[in-house]
Structures are given as C-alpha cells and as structure tokens.
Chain A
Amino acid sequence: MDSKFPDQLFPVFYYTGPPKKKADCPVHAWGLHGHVYGNDSGSAEVADWSFLAQRKVNGPTWAPVESIVAPLLPPKSVNKWSSRHLPSAMDFPKHMQNFYLYKSEDAFSTMNHLLEDHFDFGSGELKECMKKTTVSMKNMERFMSSAKFIKCPLKPFEKRASLYNNLLGDVIHDIPPGLLGELLYEELTLQREEKQFNEVATGGALGFFLISTSNTSQEGCLVYPRKAALNSLNFHKVVVEFQENIPRPKFMNKPINYGVNGTIRQVSVGPMEESVYVGVRTDYNCGVWVATSAQKPQPLDVVNTQERATCLTVSPHMPGELLVASESGVAYLWTVGRSLQKFREEEGNLYFNAKSPWRWCDFSAHPRVMLYADRTGLELSDIRSKETCSHTVFRIGATSGCKSGERVILSRYLCNVNTHHHLVTTQHSAYIMDERFPCLPMIKWDHMMASPPMFAQAVGTASQHQNTVILGSQSSQELTLLQYSGGNAVAAQVLGAPQKLSCPMKSLADLPVQIPHRQKNVQERLTVPAAGIASIYYDKEESLCVLQLSEVGDIFYQTLRPASQDSLQAAHKEMLNEDSVTEQSGSSPQESQESVNNPRTNIVSQSKCKIVSQSDCPPETSDARIHGINEPCVNMILNPLTEQEDVSLSKDIPRTAKVSKATLLKWKSWLNVLRNGQRSTPRYSQLHWTLKTKDHFTFDGKPRDILGKDQITSLRNNMREVMEKKSVLTCGATSLSPPEVLPTPHPVDTQSWGDDLSQRLSASWEGGWKDWWEEKLGLNREKRIEELRRKRRRLKRTRGPRVALSGSFTTSASYQSDLDGWSSAVSDFGGQDPDLDSSTFSGYLSTQEDSAEPERTGRVLQHEPKGSKLSSEEKSNVTLSRNKAKMPKDPSQEGNPKAPKQLKQDYMSALFSSQEEVVDAGTEGTDFFFPMSLSSQVSSISNSQRKPSLGPFSQSSQSSKQGKKRARMGF
C-alpha cells in the first residue's frame, strides 16, 4: 500500500527563498486546523461530504500507565557524573587558582628546580657560603599551609605574598597565566556549548530488535552501552510480559558484553530478518555486529575514521550494508567484509554556510539512492551514476515554513512506517517529508521542546491508521509523542496535539522524599542528559514501551496504552461523580474511588498534593529554570487570584500521580543501590578550616531520646495524619502526657528596687525621666511647697471635721516625709502632672490619695468608669476645683524667679528637649487628667464613706492601705 501517493494534497502556498519567520509565538503547536479539503464522495448532498483537516484535533491518544518512569537496571556506581550545572566561561580564574593550588608541581616545576637551593626549609645546617643567598621558608610554610583553605583569607600574609609576587610573578609559572587563562576560557566555552548541545550523541545509543512474539509476551534484545565511560556494548534479552494487565519489560539471563575502545555514541539497528545487523559508532570508530535469534551476537567488521564519525546507519533493505559519514564531509557506503564506497563528498554545507561539520546520511526507498544531510538540508543522491545526481528533499527555507536560525538536527528514514517518508527534526519543528514530492513537507509539527530533539523513534501501529513518532532531546530529557496518519491513499494528517511523556527528572517529585543530601544526589543523577531512546511496540495487546538511556548508563522506561474515547469519557464521568461526592461528603473520596476503580493495580493517588509537589520539585538546575517548569512561585502568584478555582483545580482529575507499588519498590531498590554504591570521596579533603572539638565536649553515649520506640512511631503516625489534614499537631492528639503548666510570672514590682539607678530607669520607662531628675536635683522644690500649701488650704476649706481629721493625718504624714526629703506631697499633684505621679514616689509616699491609685496604668484605666459614675453635682464640683487649681499655678511660677535655679532649668530643658515635648503633652492633657484624678479622689473618698460596696479593686486596695495607715497613725 506504500506505493500509493495521495490523490489530493492539502492546499498550500509555495514560497521560495530564505526563511522569513521569526521564532516568536511559542504556541504554534496548537489551535489551528491547517487546511481542509472535501472528500468528493459522489453524493449530491452537501451534508454527506466528509471534510478532512490537515490537523485532526481529536486524535487517538496514548495514555501513560503510570505517571512516572521506572528504572530498568540497577544503577551502576559511577565515580562522578557531571551535574547539569553549565560551566561559565568567566570562571576561568577559579580554575586557574585550583590549578596553582592543587597541581603546583605542574604549574611551577621548572622554577622550583632552579630555585631549590636558595630556599631553606630548615632541614639541615646551612653552609656559610650559602647563607647570603638563601631564604628561610619558615614563614612561607605557614603561608602555604593557610593557602590550602579556600575560605581562609590571605590577609595576614598579603604583604608578603605581594612581595613574592612582585619578585617572582613573571618567571615562576611554567605556563604563562595569560595563555593559560585564554585556553581555559576557550575550553570552558566549549564545554558549555557541549553541555547545552552535544551533537556527537545524535541518533542515540540505545537499540532494540525483536526476536519473537507470542500471545502473552514478546521477546527482544536491547542493545545498550554500560560502564562509566559507556564503552561496553551490551546485548541483553528483554521480555515484555503482562503483569496485572500492565506490560512490563524484564531482563532475562545475563547480558553479552563487548568492550569497545571509546564511548559509544550511536547504536543503529537494522530490521530483523533472518539476522539483524547492529552498527555501533564511537568517535573515531564504527563497528558492526550480527545477531540471529538463535546465536549470540558476533562482531563482524570495524572501520576507523580520521575525522570524527557523525553518523552510522544500518540499511533496512540489504543485509550488511551501512552508511558512514564523518566530519570531513564524506559519506560512504560500507558493505560489511567488502569495501567502502565513497558516494558523496561536500566541503561546505549544502545550501548555505552553516559552519557545521556535522553530516548525516540515511537510506531511502530505493536501495541505491542515499540521503545525505547536514544542518542546512537533505539531499538524495544516486550512488550508481558517475556524475552527481541529486535532488533536494528538504532545505531550511521559506518553502517548508522554517524560522530563521532553524537547523536540521536529525533525519530518520521511517521505513517501518511508510517507505517514502523521512522524519526531519529541527529546534522548533518536526517534518515528515515524502521523497516523491520533495521540498514541501507533508506534515509539520511544532514539537514545543526546550532543547533540540536528537533522538527519534517511529512506530507504525498495527491498524496502520496511526503512526507514532517519539522525539527525545538530550539535555532536557524531554520525550514528545506526535502522531500522524495517512500518506498513502489519503493525504497525511496530524492527529491530536503533541504529548509530553514523563522523564526521570520529573519522576523524582512523585517518589517518597528522602534526606536532603541524598535527595540532591539522586536529583543530580536523574538530571543527567539523555543519550538515546528506544521503543518496544507490542501489537497483540496494543501497548508501547518507551525506554530512555542516560549519559551515565541508566535506563528508564514507561509504558503507554492507547486511551480510547470510551476510557476518556469514563474518566470524565468518574470525575463528575467525584465532584458530586466531594460536594456531598466534603471528605477526600479520591483514594477510595481510585482503589475501587483499579482494584488490581493498587494505584496510589496523590492528585491533591500534586500541584504543590510539582512546584517543589527540583528548581536547582539552571535549565529547568529556563524552562520555567519548576518555578516555585507559580502557586504563590496564582493562588491569590483564583482561590475558588484552586479548589476546583485540586478536584480536576487529569493530573494524577499514578504509581503502582511495584514501581515504587523498584525505585526503592534502585535508590538503595545508588546510595550504597556511592563513595563519598571529596576531591580535596580539606576545603575549610577545621577546628577539632573532640576533647572539648564529652558525650556519655546514652541515647538522648527519652521516648520509647513505640511512642516515637505513634508520634510519627500522628504527625503524618496531622500533615495530611494540614492542621497543627497538639499535645492532646498524641499519646504523650500533657506538659506541666508553668505559672505565669509575677508582675514586676518596681517599688522593691530601692537604688537610684533602678528608680531612674523605672521612671524613664514611664517617660518621667526629666521629672525624676528635677526631683532629684530639687529644681521643683518651691513649686512643690507652694502646691502643698495651696492644697492644705483647700482641704481646710472644703472638708468637714472628719475628713479634715483624715486630711490632717495625711498632711502630717506627708509633712513628715517632707522633712525626710524635700520631695513630698507629690501624690496629690499627680493629677495635674501625670508624669510626676509615678510609682517611684508611691513607694515612700504612701498617702491616702495615692492608695486609691496604686499604679499609673491601672489608674488610667479606672478613671473613666469612675468618671462616668460621677453625679452631676460632683461634676460641677470638679470643674470648680479645676479652675481653682489652675489659677494659682501661674503666679507661683512667675512670682518666684530664682536666678541659679532658672539657669539650671534652662539647661535641663535644653538638654532634655525631647522629654519636654512629652511633658507638654502631659500638661495639655491636664484638662483631661486633672478632673479625673480629682474626681477619683473625691469619689473614692466619698464612696469609701458612703457606699462601702464599690469595685473590688478599690476596696481591697483601700483596706490594705488602711492597714498601713493605721500603723502610721500609731507612729
């Protein structure tokens, strides 16, 4: 059927010239139907016509059986694997420093020998004659010992070091630093380029050929490189078996391995006929093995190339024919055991100067017409004719709708899918070219991959309606699945949208979390670039197994099954059901639902945690950051926007992490082997200045944990439960005894501190620092005396005999204290100037008025309710007394000017201007405070006399103070 050419092709403009488009819009893979034509079915009714779109939007899809990949082989312990950290070319000084510090023998050996006699290391006695020309190296040794440590600053020796540098800087190096730096810079740039895109791996070093198929299993042979340098070729029998309806590849027997001289870059496998040819390419060698289903693989032939080989392809038509291309631009037909036949040589690139020595060749539908490709395009050349007979199949240009800067990365002859189709991949797109109608692509996909696809697999499925192409990229490990149909009787049609398969890098997120440093180790191991892909298609039970090889030789696989429309609808229904259940019960029914639906597979669902864990997964690698895949802030930004949606998102079924127990077990053992196989040998033993603490601390060796094992496990369980609920672990939820309740500490009693400093600090804490000093220095003595007198007068006037009596006690008491020190009768004045009425004074001025207000804060709080209790007559009383109190204040200040004290006051006010403000605020507040305090005074007195049942606080305080008062009275 492959001999047919489509009756009609989709309409398309034919442009010529260089590419015009710019790589701007990042979503070209989606949304468009392309073109449409109608199938003229001969029917008269328009409604009967079927229309065909260039891109059939709803194509059949493959669904991964599990959401993560699984390891196929136990990990080989590799001494070091390069992390995905891209070397920066500007790092060369660091590398030079390392070179000087750790390879000093190489860096300075010449000068070392010359100057050896002139340095004394204190090893022996110096001869007299030598003393003048010899430098002692005692200090130098100390300097050198400190220079070993990267963190150690060279500060103490800086001067000496620079002196040495001035003296010897020009001559001491074996390699001039300028030259070394330049070379290092170049090397680092090259390494960076190679890390981003290493073209030698094009084609991939993983191969598979089928041996036999039965109804329940399929036997094949996997060809893969192993060992640290990937220099051992392994042929390993693989059996794909159905376990619980899931196809799983399994290795049988032991592998047959051959040592190869060089890293294996590409493995190319021919079709399995009576025997199968396996071509292996290393940088400068190409070899071929032959295997049959019965016999073990045998090496057949080897060629060496002078330039680096870039391509090796085994013929799908003729046994024992291969194509070899190298960077010299020559392509050969290599017939095993016979000869090499040069069929094409190109000095430059085919269509324009792409400055690339990379060459590729492949077979075509005609066994004597070969495909020759470089970065600019593909050509078919007939190897029979003497003169070059070639015509273009594909070229970078406007014809195939290329973007500027686009280059051919890989081409592959899809013999098993359609004998005339070639797959061409570029950084942006993948094309299917029909060699019968060259130049215009039959199909164009935008594959949406971050790094260029270097590996490709094509699978023609049994039904032949649907061809699957899998593209794999190197540095970002991506796997993209594309599908198309047609190309024979009807025009080729794209089916569905590109689908991304999971890769090892992403799988880590779905695995159980480990200790951070191990996690980092595993993560580094899993982010190693890919080195090849292979696919195993099992047509009896339609399933597709995709294998991926990494640069350290790990092989991971994942299995895909066709997702039929029924199952999709079922999934959708299921989702709807789940929604309703969630709404009804509010609990998390997903797990139970899953387990009901898949009773056999024991699938663990983690859909709810998925979004979170995705954002948590390794953001360290720089490429991943470029991707923007693992941006940790996504949720932080999006969540506030769509809080309600978030709920519905978590309900959405599609992103479920389905991991079977078998896979988890596999991963567990894989991780164990990886951990055990690792030797922690840091490159330089002492990188930091270390301080030995062995003798300083003693450890009795008893376990610190006072909890028993049972308790710890139960605690862990509790913790897990609580974390699932996202709540807080409280003591009540655990089996632990409740902790002892500590009593709250007593309030600080500042009065008990008698010393000056404490008092001052207490005063200034409350803002009365200035007043305290004024008090201390006696600046306000006159004011006080005046105040006292006024008060006494007032009391005499306003109070009755009984009150007067108590008042007389107060005065006597205060008078006595006045005699003790100059500061007295402050308490009453406190109402006017709140700053003065600090607790400091109440300590030794325990007057009756004060007793009502033991603390300033308490007083402020209590004022208002008390104020509100005031009757109207009392209020009028208050206003009267306030006026009285205010009136005499001013003349007292103006009337008694005393020069030295005034000076002092000025000085103080200048000094404590900041405090002044507070005082001002306080004086302003007198309007408020004064009546309150007075009223409180009045009310407290009147209340205590008239209404004994007042608030508990005032009463108790009053009673306690009255006890004190009595004692004084006794005195």
Chain B
Amino acid sequence: MITNGCMLKSFKVTEEKGNPLPPQREKKPKTSPCVLRCGTAYGNLLAMDDISAEWMTSPVRDCGSDNDVSNDDDDEDDEEEEPIRKRSKWPDLPIPAPWYGETSKETGFHRSSRLCLNQIRECLLEHRWQEAAEYLISYFQTLEEISTPRQLLATEIIFRLGSEILHQHPNSKLEDVNHFFDLMKNTGVRGYLKISLEHSFHLLLTGNFDDAVRQLTTAESWRYGKQSAVQADKMKLIHAYRGFLSYLSWISKKGSSSEDDDGDVSAIQEMHTYFRQACISLQEILKLPGVWDPFVVGYVNMLEFYNDHEGALNVLKEYAYDSRFPPNPNAHVYLYRFLKRQGSTEKKQIRVLKILGALVPSHELMLELFSLLLESGTEQSLKEALDVLFNLLDDCSWKHSVAAWTCFRNMIKLLRRKKLKHLLEEGWETRKDWWPAFHFRTYHARADFQLSRQLLLMKVVVASTLVGNSKNAFSACLGLIVPANPLGRCFPTQSTFLLLGAGKEQKHGLGVLVNP
C-alpha cells in the first residue's frame, strides 16, 4: 500500500546526521554586556503578580517576548519554529559509545574477554575484591591478543585492575604488589615510566622511602627509542619527583647535621650532593607550566638556606606571574611569605596581596592585607582596607568569622574617629539591597548567638551603623530575641540591639518568611 523503498534510501542520509561532531577549536566568543539591573525589561520571562492559582489550574498564559508583552500573534510563529528547534537539537550530546557492548565482528576470544572484563568491572564497582581477583586470573589470557593496540589496551587494563585489586584485597602483601608492578613494567614498553612512577608512589605511601628513590633512579635512566608526548611528560615528572625526594633527603641531612653543631665534612658534602641533584631536577620542572607547589616550596627552601635570595625570588615571581601558568593562589601566597620572611617593604607585600585579592577576594591572607593597609593610614589605603573587608564578608565562608567582624567593627570605630564615614557609605551603597538579607536576619541572629556571643555583638554594632546610616533602623525585630535570651543583661541600652530584618523587601516579598 505504501511504497517505502525510496524513502528508506533517502532517510539513510539523514540518519548519519546523528553522529556527534568533534568539538571545534575552542574560541571564546566575546560576550556582550548583558547584565541589566532589575526592574527594566523582563526579557522572555514575566513574573505574574497574582501567584499560583492561575498556574495551578488554568492553562498557561503566554508571557511576553522581548520588550513586548502583547504577543498573541507570536504563537503561530512559535509553533512553526518548534520542529526546527527540535531538529537542531539532534546532534546535541554525544552519548558515550558503549565500548563494552557487543560488536558485530567479534570473535569468541574477544567475546569471552569482554564478558570477563564486564564481570570484573561489576565486582569492582560493588567492592567485591576477592571475586574480582578470581576473574582477573582468567582475564590474563587477553595478553595473547594479536593486534598491537588491543594488546596495549589489555596491558593497561590489567595493570589498572590488578593494582586496584592488590591495593584493596585483604590478603595482599607489599611483596605481591612489588612483584606485580615489576611484571607489568616489562609487559610492553609503553607503560614502563607510568608504572615505575606509580610503584614509587606506592612505596612512598607504605613508608619505603629508600626503595622509592631506587625505583625512580632506575626509571630515570631508562631509555627507549622514540618517546610519545605522554611518555616525555612522565619522564619529566619522574625527574621532578626524584629531585623532590632528594630535597627530602636534604632536609633530613640538614636536620641531623644541625643537631650536632660541628658536623663532619662528609655529612655536609652529602647534603650538597642532594642539593645539587634536587636543584637540577626541580629547575627543569619549574620551567613547564603547571601546579608545582611542593616542588617550589622545596626549591625555595633550599635556595634560602644557601642564601640565594635573588634566585628564590626569581623562581617565585616566575611561578606567580608567568602567564603560561594557571592562576594559582598559592603562588602568590608563597611569594608574599617569602617577602615577609625577607623583611621586604610593606609596599611590596601589599602589592603582592592585592594581586592575590583580585584573584581570590576571600583568601585568608586578606586579613593581613587589611592590617597592612591600616598601618599605612592614608585615606586611600583606608578605603582599600574597607573594600577588602567588604569583599571578604561578601563571601559566605566568612559569614560567621569573628575575626572578620571584629575587624569591621574596629574599622568603623576608626572611620568614625577619622571622620571618614562617607567611605563606609560608598561601600554600603552597592550592598544595601542584599546584605541585610544575607547577614542581618533574625535567623542569623539566632544562629550567631548559638555559635558565639562575640560574633553577634560585632554584627549588631556593624548592622546598626550600616543600616542606621541609611535611615532605616529596624527595631521591630528587637523584641524577638531579647526576652528569651540573657542578652538583655549584657546590653542595658536598647539602641545596640538592632537586629535587623530583611530590609524594605521584607514588607512584601519576604515578610511571609519571618516566623512570628
């Protein structure tokens, strides 16, 4: 009745559309300014004044399109656009290919190894290590794979699964693990470096420092024809870790030699050897972009010991300011601490901390920046100090920090003294619409009181100052806590009890929330 033949053919073409496209070269489009203040245009969304009832029962009223609320005519257009949108959605998400699924050209060997792998996976995912070990014994036969890629994959899989099982199995011993690692290292050359590194980690974690060093030394001297990029990186890591372990040996030598003051020359010689070894390897890795916190710390520590302050500073500056490196907050922290140790000028320290503050406004060193800025005492620096404090308290991790609120209270006192309260108002201007709800709610008062009375006191002072300035004192909440709490005895004057509600907004929007 229906002739489908030709249609089938034509559909096959469209079917291929479903293949996921490889991600294109990353290019971040320039984003246009799109932050709009509230209350202007609602965009595609429209808040409905009378809530609920309509949505609950009646059919949906369509909302306005951009800048235009009357859009009854748009409905047809929308319907036309619908299928197009759907169609464009097809190549949306590449579902991961079921690698473990059955393939059409599968030999019995592959099939059995696939099934076996699935079993092992299931066992591992359910933490049945013993059963997984039994299955793994059978899985070793996949090493007899003929094709090279598959064999490599099998080696990798066996290494991963085997080491995991050995780590978790209740009966496994260190010797077993060592033996397994040694075996796996020589099953194909690709994995040698990786497994060596992993092996040394395992030895380190189990407290065999010397064996780990030996492993790394052996791996360091390993040579094999052409190396892939991954292998080259692994080699660099091995060098770096080798250097790091030398540094650790250096520390132990340093400690032991400092104990007996006039250490013999050989011990100092040995220390120097370790230093040189560590220096060479760590220097290399620090040139490459990455996160090298432990290495940097060690390297700088050694340089400082040998009074190469210039070199240490260069290393730290490079680590913090090189644009090839990721924006690591710790890099700035190390630099700041180094400068502090060296007793450099406050100006330099402040500069470093400011950069850190731009990166992470909520960093704990911001309190130090605050005190540094206070010390300088100029109006400009006071303004900056206030900004630092405001930014710090913007972050929700500092919400309950007594130290931060105490700083704020002190700052307010200082500003009052210096008659610079306008600075406070400037900072408050951008926050007055949300700080009350964020910091000064009855709920917060209760929670803070349970946490620490000190905290509540500081916050009360700050709140009264800030909100009082904007002529919106809310003493209504005053009675909420006071009668039930012994606070009343601490504060004889009522004016300090300004426990604030949510500000203006509470009257309509959030008023519902306050639990009488």
Determine which residue in A14, A330, A358, A625 has the highest number of CB atoms from chain B within 10 A of its CB, and name it: A14
* Shortest beta-carbon distance from B390 to chain A in Å: 12
A438 and B44 form a contact (CB under 8 A): no
* Shortest beta-carbon distance from B288 to chain A in Å: 7
B1-41 to A contact mask, C-beta < 8 Å, 1/0: 11110011001001100101111111111011111111101
Contacts A8-B297, A353-B24, A405-B94: A33 and B56 contacting too (C-beta < 8 A)?
Answer: no
Determine which residue in B36, B87, B244, B441 has the highest number of CB atoms from chain A within 10 A of its CB, and name it: B36
* Shortest beta-carbon distance from B162 to chain A in Å: 8
B465 within 8 A of A: no
* Shortest beta-carbon distance from A126 to chain B in Å: 29
* Shortest beta-carbon distance from A144 to chain B in Å: 13
A96 to B248, CA, bound (A): 75
Q: Which residue of B lies closest to A345 (CB)?
A: B34
* Shortest beta-carbon distance from B192 to chain A in Å: 15
* From B164, B361, B437, contact of A318 by CB (8 A): B437
* Shortest beta-carbon distance from B215 to chain A in Å: 13
A556 within 8 A of B: no
Enumerate A672-707 residues with CB–CB distance to B below 8 Å: none
A7 to B46, CA, bound (A): 47
A85 to B45, CA, bound (A): 37
Q: Which residues from chain A contact B89 at a C-beta distance below 8 Å?
A: 355-357
A319 to B111, CA, bound (A): 56
B490 within 8 A of A: no
Contacts A89-B15, A303-B63, A340-B47: A44 and B255 contacting too (C-beta < 8 A)?
Answer: yes
* From B3, B57, B241, B327, contact of A437 by CB (8 A): B327
B122 within 8 A of A: yes
Q: Which residues from chain A contact B22 at a C-beta distance below 8 Å?
A: 404-405
Q: Which residues from chain B contact A365 at a C-beta distance below 8 Å?
A: 362, 395-397
Q: Which residues from chain A contact B44 at a C-beta distance below 8 Å?
A: 305-307, 326, 328, 330
Q: Which residues from chain B contact A294 at a C-beta distance below 8 Å?
A: 515
A333 to B35, CA, bound (A): 10
Q: Which residues from chain B contact A112 at a C-beta distance below 8 Å?
A: none
* From B32, B167, B360, contact of A58 by CB (8 A): B167
* Shortest beta-carbon distance from A460 to chain B in Å: 14
Chain A to chain B contacts (Cβ below 8 Å), 23 pairs = A7-B293, A18-B24, A26-B99, A31-B164, A31-B198, A33-B198, A38-B248, A96-B2, A165-B1, A182-B7, A186-B83, A199-B92, A304-B63, A306-B62, A342-B35, A343-B36, A355-B92, A366-B362, A388-B35, A427-B95, A500-B122, A631-B118, A637-B116
Enumerate A359-403 residues with CB–CB distance to B below 8 Å: 365-368, 375-376, 381-388, 390, 395-397, 399
Q: Which residues from chain B contact A190 at a C-beta distance below 8 Å?
A: 86, 90
B330 within 8 A of A: yes
A447-459 to B contact mask, C-beta < 8 Å, 1/0: 0101110000000
A388 and B34 form a contact (CB under 8 A): yes
B428 within 8 A of A: no
* Shortest beta-carbon distance from A272 to chain B in Å: 10
Closest 9 CB pairs of A and B: A44-B255, A31-B160, A337-B509, A299-B52, A30-B164, A341-B38, A500-B125, A654-B128, A2-B397
B425 within 8 A of A: no
A963 within 8 A of B: no
B430 within 8 A of A: yes
Enumerate A316-343 residues with CB–CB distance to B below 8 Å: 316-320, 324, 326-328, 330, 332-343
* From A51, A320, A388, A409, contact of B509 by CB (8 A): A320
Q: Which residue of B lies closest to A654 (CB)?
A: B128
A535 within 8 A of B: no
Q: Which residues from chain A contact B24 at a C-beta distance below 8 Å?
A: 18, 352-353
Contacts A26-B99, A303-B63, A438-B327: A261 and B56 contacting too (C-beta < 8 A)?
Answer: yes
B311 within 8 A of A: no
Q: Which residues from chain B contact A328 at a C-beta distance below 8 Å?
A: 44
Contacts A274-B514, A365-B362: A338 and B38 contacting too (C-beta < 8 A)?
Answer: yes
A642 and B63 form a contact (CB under 8 A): no
A348 to B30, CA, bound (A): 11
A655 to B127, CA, bound (A): 9
B25 and A352 form a contact (CB under 8 A): yes
Binds B, one of A68-76, A115-123, A284-292: A284-292
A472 to B236, CA, bound (A): 38
Contacts A8-B297, A355-B91, A654-B130: A497 and B288 contacting too (C-beta < 8 A)?
Answer: no
B363 and A26 form a contact (CB under 8 A): no
* Shortest beta-carbon distance from B448 to chain A in Å: 13
Q: Which residues from chain B contact A193 at a C-beta distance below 8 Å?
A: 18, 90, 92
B515 and A275 form a contact (CB under 8 A): yes
Q: Which residues from chain B contact A631 at a C-beta distance below 8 Å?
A: 115, 118
Binds A, one of B201-209, B219-227, B374-382: B201-209
Q: Which residue of A lies closest to B515 (CB)?
A: A274
A630 to B17, CA, bound (A): 31
A180-217 to B contact mask, C-beta < 8 Å, 1/0: 01100110011001001101000000000000000000
A654 and B129 form a contact (CB under 8 A): yes
A498 within 8 A of B: yes
* From A6, A17, A334, A654, contact of B127 by CB (8 A): A654
* From B88, B122, B251, B396, contact of A419 by CB (8 A): B396
* From B3, B7, B23, contact of A352 by CB (8 A): B23
Enumerate A619-640 residues with CB–CB distance to B below 8 Å: 625-629, 631, 633-634, 637-638
A301 and B90 form a contact (CB under 8 A): no
Chain A: how many interface residues by the 8 Å CB criterion?
186
Given contacts A356-B92, A395-B26, 5 further A-B pairs with CB under 8 A are A33-B198, A38-B294, A44-B259, A161-B1, A186-B83
Determine which residue in B24, B54, B114 has the highest number of CB atoms from chain A within 10 A of its CB, and name it: B24
A629 and B397 form a contact (CB under 8 A): no
Q: Which residues from chain A contact B333 at a C-beta distance below 8 Å?
A: 5
Contacts A178-B7, A301-B52, A405-B20: A27 and B121 contacting too (C-beta < 8 A)?
Answer: yes
A509 within 8 A of B: no
Enumerate B259-293 residues with CB–CB distance to A below 8 Å: 259, 285, 288-293
* Shortest beta-carbon distance from A188 to chain B in Å: 10
B434 within 8 A of A: yes
B142 within 8 A of A: no
Q: Which residue of B lies closest to A275 (CB)?
A: B513
Chain B: how many interface residues by the 8 Å CB criterion?
173
A57 to B163, CA, bound (A): 10
B25 and A427 form a contact (CB under 8 A): no
Enumerate A14-34 residues with CB–CB distance to B below 8 Å: 14, 17-19, 23-28, 30-33
Q: Which residue of A lies closest to B233 (CB)?
A: A13
A428 within 8 A of B: yes
Binds A, one of B131-139, B346-354, B456-464: B131-139
Q: Which residues from chain A contact B55 at a C-beta distance below 8 Å?
A: 260-261, 285, 287, 302, 304
* Shortest beta-carbon distance from A914 to chain B in Å: 42
A508 to B327, CA, bound (A): 51
Contacts A25-B157, A31-B161, A498-B125: A305 and B63 contacting too (C-beta < 8 A)?
Answer: yes
Determine which residue in B26, B51, B289 has the highest number of CB atoms from chain A within 10 A of its CB, and name it: B26
Enumerate A695-735 residues with CB–CB distance to B below 8 Å: none
A261 and B59 form a contact (CB under 8 A): yes
A30 to B165, CA, bound (A): 9
Determine which residue in B35, B160, B168, B363 has the highest number of CB atoms from chain A within 10 A of its CB, and name it: B35
B398 within 8 A of A: yes
Q: Which residues from chain B contact A51 at a C-beta distance below 8 Å?
A: 204-205
A628 to B21, CA, bound (A): 27
Q: Which residue of A lies closest to B257 (CB)?
A: A44
B452-483 to A contact mask, C-beta < 8 Å, 1/0: 00000000000000000000000000000000
Q: Which residues from chain B contact A415 at a C-beta distance below 8 Å?
A: 396
* Shortest beta-carbon distance from A420 to chain B in Å: 7
A14 to B44, CA, bound (A): 40
A93 within 8 A of B: yes
A351 within 8 A of B: yes
Q: Which residue of B lies closest to A93 (CB)?
A: B4
B209 and A46 form a contact (CB under 8 A): yes
